[in-house]
Amino acid sequence: MKIILLDEDQETYEVLQEVAKLSGSEIIQITTLEKAKELIDKGEDIDGIVAEKRVNNMPTWEILSYLKRIGKANEIPFIVLTKDITPEEKEFLDYMGVTAILEKPFNPLEVFMDIVEHLRQVKGEGYVKERLEGEEDLLKLKEKIQEEKGELPANKTDKSGGILEVLKKFIEFFKHLLGN
């Protein structure tokens, strides 16, 4: 999956990128609305947009409005991550059609869950399966990440590694979601 992150916070990028690696997904961090529009206009398959309420003092809901103008608002999930939100802001974002509003600190698996569920409803299970790497590839990628970090367990069947637990939950979630 290819996901745009509209957020200046490097920590948010790093957290999402860790989970994205496990599914063969890509997080593209963008800090201006103009660059986000350019990427959307290139016609690349964008599977989701995750955004802080504002980026460079501009409201990111303008991208959702742009998606509506070009007829892509329904097919691209738009998730807002924020540290604080007023009831009025929440009501406005709901009215604009955001997929989800999550407060920071957030669970990155919940972000992916919301994106996958939206894509499954709009584009079907086949599309979601096509965009996600297989379970075997996820395990290989996980081992590679652990090797790079020097975290590879002595026994490769050891399920106690921290990243492995996240990977295991991620795989179980998608299996459940896709009915496998």
- pLDDT values of the chain reduced to their tens digit, one per residue, 180 residues: 899 999 999 999 999 998 888 878 899 999 999 999 999 999 778 999 999 999 999 999 999 999 999 999 889 999 999 988 999 999 999 999 999 999 988 888 889 889 989 998 999 888 887 887 654 444 454 455 456 555 544 444 443 445 556 666 666 666 666 665
Unique residue bearing structure tokens 């409005």: 65
Domain 2-133 has CATH 3.40.50.2300: yes
Per-residue model confidence (pLDDT) at position 126 = 84
Q: Strand, helix or coil at 107?
A: coil
| Distance from C-alpha of 137 to C-alpha of 24, rounded to nearest angstrom | 8
Per-residue model confidence (pLDDT) at position 172 = 65
- Residue 40 Ramachandran class (φ > 0 left, ψ -120 to 50 alpha, else beta): alpha
**The token pair that represents 39 in the structure block:** 């990427």
Closest CA to 72 of 45, 53, 95, 92: 45
Per-residue model confidence (pLDDT) at position 158 = 43
Residue ranges of the domains in the chain?
A: 2-133
